[in-house]
Amino acid sequence: MGLIMKIAESMSRLGTETAFEVLARARALEGEGRSIIHLEIGEPDFDTPANIRDAAKKALDDGHTHYGPSAGIPALREAIATEIGRSRGIEVSPAQVVVVPGGKPIIFFSLLACVNPGEEVIYPNPGFPIYESVINWIGAKAVPLPMREANSFGIDVSELETLISPRTSFLILNSPANPTGAVATGEQLARIAELAIEHDFIVLADEIYSRIIYGGEHLSLLTFPGMAERLILLDGFSKIYAMTGWRLGYGVMPEKLAFWVGRLMTNSNSCTASFTQIAGIEALTGPQDEVRAMVAEFERRRDFIVSGLNKIDGFSCLQPEGAFYVFPNITALGRTSKELEIYFLEECGVAMLTGTSFGALGEGYIRLSYANSVENITEALHRIKDGVARL
- Count CB-CB contacts under 10 A for residue 18: 18
Judged by CB under 6 A, which stretch of 50-58, 65-73, 99-107, 260-268 contacts ligand PLP?
99-107
DSSP 45: S
CA–CA separation, 278 and 262 (whole Å): 19
> Which residue, 175 or 274, has its beta carbon nearer to ligand PLP?
175
Q: What is the x/- site pattern for ligand PLP, positions 157-196, by CB under 6 A?
A: -----------------x---x------------------
Judged by CB under 6 A, which stretch of 56-64, 96-104, 183-191, 377-385 contacts ligand PLP?
96-104
374-390 and 337-348 helices, crossing angle to 10°: 110
HSE on the CB side for 88, CA within 13 Å?
Answer: 24
**Residue choice 49, 94, 146, 249 for contact with ligand PLP (CB under 6 A):** 249
Query: Is residue 238 within the footprint of ligand PLP (CB under 6 A)?
Result: yes
Judged by CB under 6 A, which stretch of 91-99, 147-155, 236-244, 285-293 contacts ligand PLP?
236-244
Residues 6 or more apart in contact with residue 19 via CB below 8 angstroms = 40, 41, 42, 353, 357
> Which residue, 251 or 262, has its beta carbon nearer to ligand PLP?
251
> Which residue, 133 or 174, has its beta carbon nearer to ligand PLP?
174
Query: Is residue 297 within the footprint of ligand PLP (CB under 6 A)?
Result: no
Judged by CB under 6 A, which stretch of 100-108, 117-125, 142-150, 276-284 contacts ligand PLP?
100-108
Residues 6 or more apart in contact with residue 306 via CB below 8 angstroms = 317, 318, 319, 320, 326
Vertex 163 angle, CA 220 and 187, to 5°:
30
Residues 6 or more apart in contact with residue 166 via CB below 8 angstroms = none
**Residue choice 94, 102, 251, 362 for contact with ligand PLP (CB under 6 A):** 102
> What string of DSSP letters covers 105-137?
HHHHHHHHHH--TT-EEEEEESS-HHHHHHHHH
Query: Is residue 341 within the footprint of ligand PLP (CB under 6 A)?
Result: no
**Residue choice 49, 68, 72, 103 for contact with ligand PLP (CB under 6 A):** 103
> Which residue, 103 or 280, has its beta carbon nearer to ligand PLP?
103
> Which residue, 192 or 381, has its beta carbon nearer to ligand PLP?
192
Footprint of ligand PLP on 202-221 (CB under 6 A): 206, 208
104-114 and 129-137 helices, crossing angle to 10°: 30
CB of 310 to ligand PLP, least distance (A): 24
Query: Where is 37: in which H helix or E strand?
Result: strand 37-38
Residues 6 or more apart in contact with residue 224 via CB below 8 angstroms = 189, 190, 193
**Chain contacts with ligand PLP (rule: CB under 6 A):** 42, 102-104, 128, 174, 178, 206, 208, 236, 238, 244, 249
